[in-house]
A = this chain, B = another copy of it.
Amino acid sequence: MAEELNERSQNILEAIVEDYISSAEPIGSRAITRRHDFNLSPATVRNVMADLEEMGFLCSPHTSAGRIPTAQGFQYYIDSLLQIRDLSKQEKSRLRNSYRFSGMKLEDIMQEVGRVMSGLSKYTGLVMAPKFSSTVFRQIEFVRLSKGRLLVIYVSESGLVQNKIIEADQTLDDRQLEQISNFLNKELTGLSIQEVRKKLSAELTEERVLYDRLRKQALSLSCAALQDEVENQIYVSGASLMLEQPEFSSPQQMKRLIQTLESKKMLIELLDRSQNAQGVQIFIGSESSSIDLEGYSLITSNFSNQKGAIGTLGVIGPVRMDYSQVIPIVDFTAQLVSRVLEREIE
C-alpha cells in the first residue's frame, strides 16, 4: 500500500525523518529546503508534505507547527529508506575494545553489555540472560539447608549459575546427596533442559525405578529442581542517560519512562518475543500493540552459543531514535557476545 511513494516523496520523507531524529522538533517546509538541496521551493515541499500527512506518514502537533513523522512514517523509513551501513573495521575494533569480558562470569558480562550499549547509544540497554529452558545441562549440586530443605545449584554449559530451594521429603545425608548428584551429572550432562525433562518423566514411569531407591530419589529431586521455569533475569542500564532526551523532559514522561523500565515483567515479555527471531529486530511503539510501548522503540538481537542457549539484548529508546547508529551496535554486540559465550565452553 505504501509502496506507491514516488522518489521525490521518499526523499522528502527521509529528510524529515532524519532532521527530526537529530532535532527532536517539528520540521517545517522551509527548514527542509534550507537544509537539503532538493531545488524545490518550500511551497512545493508543503504540497508533498500534505500528501504524506494524508497517507499517514506525518502529522502536525498543531496547525502552525512543522510536521513530525508518525510511527507509520518511521516504520516506512526503516523498511524502505534506511541504509544500514556495515561497521568499518575501525568501528568494530573500537566497539570490541569497549567491552572487557576477560575473567567475567556470565552475570557480569550481561551487566557490562547493557552498560556499554547504553553508553554508546545514549539510550537504555536491556539484556536478558539465556532462558533457563533453553540452556544445556552441565552440572547440578545439592546443598542441605535446614531439615528437608535443599539448595539446588544448577550450572549450564554457558556458565549460567542458577539456584533454587526445594523441599525434599526424606532426610538425605550428605553422602546420599553426593551419590545422587554424581548420578545425575553422569546421566544428564550435554542434554538440553527440554531433553532432560523428557528423559526424567520417561524414566520415572519406567519399571526399574521401583527397584532402585537411589535412582528414584535422584529423579524426583531433579524433577523438582528443574521443573519450574525460573524467572528470567533482566539487566537494565542507563535509565538516567535516556532522561536527557527531550521527549522525556516533562515530569510525566519521566515518570512513565521510569515505570516502564522498572516493570521487569513487561520488559521480559517484550524481549521474549524476539527470542525466536533471527538477526536484528525492531519494534516501534504504537498504541495498537498489546504492550504499552507507545513512544518507545526497541531494537533487539539474540545471542547464543553453538549449543543454542539463547539470550536477548537490545536498546530501548524514543521512537525518534538514531537507528542508523543503534542497529549496528546491537547487531555487532550480539555477535560479540555469542563469540564470547562460545569461547567459554570451547
Q: Which residues in A have some Cβ–Cβ distance to B below 8 Å?
A: 103-105, 107, 138-139, 141, 143, 145-147, 149, 151, 153, 155, 159, 161, 163-167, 237, 239-240, 243-244, 249-251, 254-255, 258-259, 262, 343-346
Contact = CB atoms under 8 A, between A and B. Distances in A.
A151 B146 contact: no
A292 to B, nearest CB: 14
Contacts of A255: 240, 243-244, 254
A167 B103 contact: yes
A164 B167 CA distance: 27
A243 B239 contact: no
A153 B153 contact: yes
A186 B103 CA distance: 28
Contacts of A243: 251, 254-255, 258
28 contacts: A103-B165, A103-B166, A103-B167, A105-B151, A105-B163, A105-B165, A141-B153, A143-B159, A145-B159, A145-B346, A146-B344, A146-B345, A149-B344, A151-B159, A151-B161, A159-B165, A161-B161, A237-B262, A239-B258, A240-B259, A240-B262, A243-B255, A244-B255, A249-B251, A251-B251, A254-B255, A254-B258, A258-B258
Given A103-B167, A163-B105, A167-B103, A344 B254 contact: no
A263 to B, nearest CB: 9
